[in-house]
Structure 1
């Protein structure tokens, strides 16, 4: 499954080269109160995004950074490509675009208008910053959530490993920035809280990283049915087999180049226990209680099971 890969690798390599030449002060910019990496996003792109026209048959994946969007994005792309196996246009490399909606140049959306049926699009944006056409046209969105402690842990290793993102001297400095929402794409807690407003929307399906890890076959089948992809049981099983973390990690040099080693680091649940100390746990537990306790998505995250020391 190679869709998006060549341009994905080229784009990331260029961003990493740019980031290596920039100071920590230059790496990020603020747009509507949220920080973004200047190597891959721009105010001009965000302005152009406002007029993006979503289609009712688009396949959207939304998730906060390091929630597993690259993993689940590959699953989604594989499902769509498999469902359209007789449509040669889905593999047209000339029509490929970097899959994250908000990443790229301002002319990207004009090119995307030429993409064929069932565009697969990823985004880290909260719903209030997405184009109005997505909700107006009832475009289906798979919302991916992951427990905040594992997100914070994964993001720590990720941001320190990539030149286009800020780096931190130690875990304590990073943790303070994460809890204050001073991260690329903003606050995790604000992100989940904003999406909670759409938790009951018919065009939004929520799935957690943890439940997909626990039963990938069931999750893949549900995702396929939500997007009306009409795959056979054998085709579903093929996607399941190709989407194990180990299989994707072993194939990451082909799908993501050198970037793959950073993206597919561990893929574990509860890796946060290797970094969190008592004071970190207390602060995160309090923040979750204040922001997300009693919300539908807060319950979906099953915080007591996955985040209690």
Structure 2
């Protein structure tokens, strides 16, 4: 949907019933969560961890079967990054990351600016965000409707919650995955994968330490990582259009996220 369709189709033949998908619309915190979970996975495997060190594959870029022959990955299931809509992965366990649409789309715009073709033909940040807000709504809505059924195979995580309390968010995700981690282990992962530290790795182009290579380089990959940064970039008209189309959907999915957390804390 958003990247190499060929690689995705090849990998799709080898999906397993036990696979877990780390899903999101682009620029919603997927890579940060991959790094946090990778830190936990390696820590549970007895390794000393450091900034970077991703061990969770991107379904659009690598051969999943080859990737998971890595003996360092010592959990009994595979976690796979994807940006696909729910309809294509609905039979699997899913962690769904979502982000306020204005921030998400602004970040996506700057990510796309890495492409010379995009730079030549783009209509500016306001036009880009206005053109994609319906796509964002459609992506979110599929997962929202599934969450409304109370499915125990879908876990919601907002970028906002992850940003404000990453230790708690990481522990909750690990609980969903049945990975038994301590508060101290979660804190180590968060300390290792702080935004500025992984941003520094990306600015150096250190793909080996990061654990993933990025087509077109890493510029603007870890850009700001802030909440409400879009208010400084978008016109009032664009913010109004985004709010009109998406605020109800966003509010609903945040409420369902809150309900999930309440259920976790009450058990």
TM-score over 0.5 for the pair:
yes
What secondary structure sits across from 2:226 in the alignment? coil
| Distance across 2 between alignment mates of 1:102 and 1:113 | 15
Match of 1:282 in 2: 240
User: Residue 172 of structure 1: which of 126, 130, 145 is its match?
Assistant: 126
Does 1:193 find its partner at 2:149?
A: no
Match of 2:10 in 1: 48
Report the count of equivalent residues: 239
Match of 1:123 in 2: 82
| Distance across 2 between alignment mates of 1:153 and 1:75 | 23
Report the Cα offset of residue 140 of structure 1: 3.1
| Distance across 2 between alignment mates of 1:237 and 1:158 | 29
RMSD, aligned CA:
3.2
User: Residue 271 of structure 1: which of 214, 217, 229 is its match?
Assistant: 229
Please list every run of 5 or more consecutive structure 2 residues that lacks an aligned counterpart in the other structure.
48-52, 259-267
Residues 1-309 of structure 1 mapped to structure 2, 5 A cutoff? 36-37=2-3, 41-42=4-5, 44-56=6-18, 58-85=19-46, 99-104=57-62, 108-111=63-66, 114=69, 117-130=76-89, 135=91, 139-163=92-116, 168-179=122-133, 181=134, 187-199=135-147, 200-252=150-202, 253=204, 254=206, 255=210, 259-288=217-246, 292=249, 296-297=252-253, 299=255
| Distance across 2 between alignment mates of 1:55 and 1:163 | 40
What secondary structure sits across from 1:54 in the alignment? coil
What secondary structure sits across from 1:121 in the alignment? strand
Contact 2:114 2:219 in 1 (8 A): no
| Distance across 1 between alignment mates of 2:16 and 2:118 | 29
What secondary structure sits across from 2:157 in the alignment? strand
**Could you state the TM-score of these two structures normalised by the residue count of structure 2?**
0.76
Report the Cα offset of residue 111 of structure 1: 3.2
